[in-house]
Amino acid sequence: MDHSNYVIDQMISAKSIAARVEDLAAEISEKFADTDKLIVVGLLRGSFVFISDLVRELELPVEVDFLEASSYGNSTESSREVRILKDLRGEIEGRDVLVVEDIVDTGYTLTHVTNLLKSRNPKRLEVCALLDKPSRREVDIKATWTGFEIPDEFVVGYGIDYAQRNRNLPYIGKVRFLSE
């Protein structure tokens, strides 16, 4: 695949992301103040940078687990068919659970994952998404907490990729494809 056919324009700075992560962590810490341990479930792979920064800001006892779901592959469009590639290692029944997602787009992945996790009877299940694209929603689902609402743009950076590239950018950038 030729990766020279696009450029990335910064959309959300690293500084803005850091400030918003602090605010989100404060709100989440308040909501779960009575928990004995919060299980933070990161949806791989896009959320790994976000979850790492978020858990360091939480003022709660936390356990971290990961679930990997896929609906994109190497495409820029959701296939709407969600597959679980890696399941949780631990049990969540009767526990407080926070699902951490990088981006809520069509809503299919998040709906599939939250339904799967709810079937395991957690005490509470809430969702924190770094980015939300409400204009793309095809399923009625909304995160409890959202970092940033963005327009319908294909984005990369801060853990989010395009064909496994650009996850290491410290900011969120809009991918602009160049004319051939």
Instruction: Fill in the amino acid letter for 35.
Output: T
User: Dihedrals φ, ψ of 90, to 5°?
Assistant: -100, 170
In whole angstroms, give the CA distance from residue 114 to residue 100.
Answer: 11
Instruction: Considering the candidates 53, 96, 102, 105, report the single residue annotated as catalytic.
Output: 105
Q: Is 105 a catalytic residue?
A: yes
3-state SS string for the chain = CCCCCEEEEEEECHHHHHHHHHHHHHHHHHHCCCCCCEEEEEEECCCHHHHHHHHHHCCCCEEEEEEEEECCCCCCCCCCCCEEEECCCCCCCCCEEEEEEEEECCCHHHHHHHHHHHCCCCCEEEEEEEEECHHHCCCCCCCCEEEEECCCCCEEECCECECCECCCCCCEEEEEECCC
Residues taking part in catalysis: 105
